[in-house]
Amino acid sequence: MARLQPVRGTHDLLPDDARRFRHITETFRKIAERYGHQEIATPIFEFTEVFSRSLGETTDVVTKEMYTFEDRSGDSITLRPEYTAGIARAFISNGLQQEVPCKFFGWGPMFRHERPQKGRLRQFHQLDVEILGVGEPQADIEVLALAHDLLTALGLGDKVTLELNSLGDLESRTAYRAKLLEFLERYEADLSEDSRTRMRKNPLRVLDSKDEGDKRIVADAPLLIGHLNASSAAFFAAVQDGLGALGVPHVVNPRIVRGLDYYSHTAFEFTTTALGAQGTVLAGGRYDGLVGELGGPATPGIGWASGIERLAMLVENMPEAPRPVALVPVGDGAEREALKLAHQLRQAGLMIDLGYKGNMGKRMKRADKIKARAAVIVGEDELERGVVALRDLDAGTQSDVPLADLAAVLAALN
């Protein structure tokens, strides 16, 4: 029988990996709540239309990467490739427009059928932050400050760069689109087949092309930031001024684009050179038209997502794993008392490991293997005297401790 392996593009989160994930998600939770965000969790699958309408029918995610299937009722269902569309759907479904501004955070698995590579999997995990119902630049500043605080708390502040651009409002993008299409038409014969198809429907998507020939062509294309109207320029200036006031460093990258019409104003990426080609660790933007695109009321929104796997590859200073206390019963008569003692100490909030079998030597070897902080030796003679032998495995010392004092003594161990 062939050795069982996980499906390509998926992996097991073993205890060390899970601990890294927990450190990231717990740090994220604390900081998001500090900013007044509330936790939300949406289903990992939705009706396909939720993603096809929000991500765009011609995007690679929709046409090539989504895990879509027909369920037993004949409905087209898709495993979520990202979080924002599901949160926007939940906002509409639950009538939350009456409660704006809505500030959410969440995290969980996403699914995309793409070529697995370093930091990119077919089942991956994302942190997500959204603000719905705020059209002012203060929301943009706040989500960027939250992201900066998170990355700093994870020890990544000096490893990432915030790159910022403005997509302007619809008027600005419409004027720019005409200029961009005029430019692309001059090189249409040299563009890739995908870009020739996309340029008529949405020329901004050509700017995102991964084709090397396309990249050389669009390097000379006009920039959207040069076609902002006065109100869009003022919005972008306000965002940058707010970041400056908060001490959040950034650079302007006029080549950050989002190809769908519901995106507007701020688009951003936190990038790093520490992951090779896959340099984006957190990205987002303002999507004032998304809720309306999904059939809800016109509602401004802004948010970001960050891949936990990529963050885990970057985080170096992980907190040490908590160390248990090993209970070591000596003699058959001590087994039952050790079982009761382990239960009492766990109820007192202590991490206790009680081996299931073996003599004292084998159990002490296990204590070393699990890096126990101390061993509590429970012998029949000691029990008769109302004490246990406490061995400090770091200091190499041993002393008798009254049973009544044991929980307090163990809690005081560093």
pLDDT in tens, 207-266: 878 888 888 998 889 998 989 999 999 999 999 999 999 999 999 999 888 867 688 999
Q: Which two tokens stand for residue 341?
A: 């003692």
pLDDT in tens, 26-80: 999 999 999 999 999 999 999 999 988 877 665 666 667 889 999 999 999 999 9
Q: Is position 258 annotated in a ligand binding site? A: yes
Q: Where are the domains of the chain?
A: 15-169+229-314, 325-412
86 token code pair: 């599901």
| Average pLDDT value for residue range 4-15 | 90
User: Is 65 annotated as ligand-binding?
Assistant: no
In contact, 82 and 110? CB cutoff 8 Å: yes
Helix (H, G, I), strand (E, B) or coil at 289: coil
pLDDT beyond 70 at 297:
yes
Q: How many CA atoms lie within 13 A of 384 on its CB side?
A: 3
Dig out the tokens for 178 from the structure. Answer: 């005409």
Which of 191-195, 272-276, 314-318 is predicted least confidently? 272-276
% of the chain beyond a pLDDT of 70: 96
> Any known ligand binding at 320?
no
Which CATH number applies to 15-169+229-314? 3.30.930.10
Residue 130 is assigned to a ligand binding site: yes
For residue 293, CA distances in Å to 45, 170, 262 come to 19, 14, 7
What is the model's pLDDT at position 389?
94
Cβ partners under 8 Å of residue 135, min gap 6: 288, 300
SS3 label, residue 239:
helix
46 among annotated binding-site residues:
no
Distance between CA atoms of residues 145 and 141, nearest Å: 6
- Domain boundaries 325-412, corresponding CATH code: 3.40.50.800
Query: Is residue 99 annotated as involved in ligand binding?
Result: no
54 vs 134: CA distance, rounded Å: 19
Structure confidence at residue 209 (pLDDT): 80
Q: Is 238 exposed, middle or buried (0-12, 13-18, 19+ CB in 10 A)?
A: middle
pLDDT band of residue 203 (cuts 50, 70, 90) is confident
pLDDT score of 1: 43
Q: Is 262 annotated as a binding-site member?
A: yes
Q: What is the pLDDT of residue 400?
A: 94
Is 82 annotated in some ligand binding site?
yes
d(CA 351, CA 222): 62
Query: What's this model's pTM, rounded to 2 decimal places?
Result: 0.89
Q: What is the mean pLDDT of the chain?
A: 91
Helix (H) / strand (E) containing 137:
helix 137-153
Is 273 annotated as belonging to a binding site? no
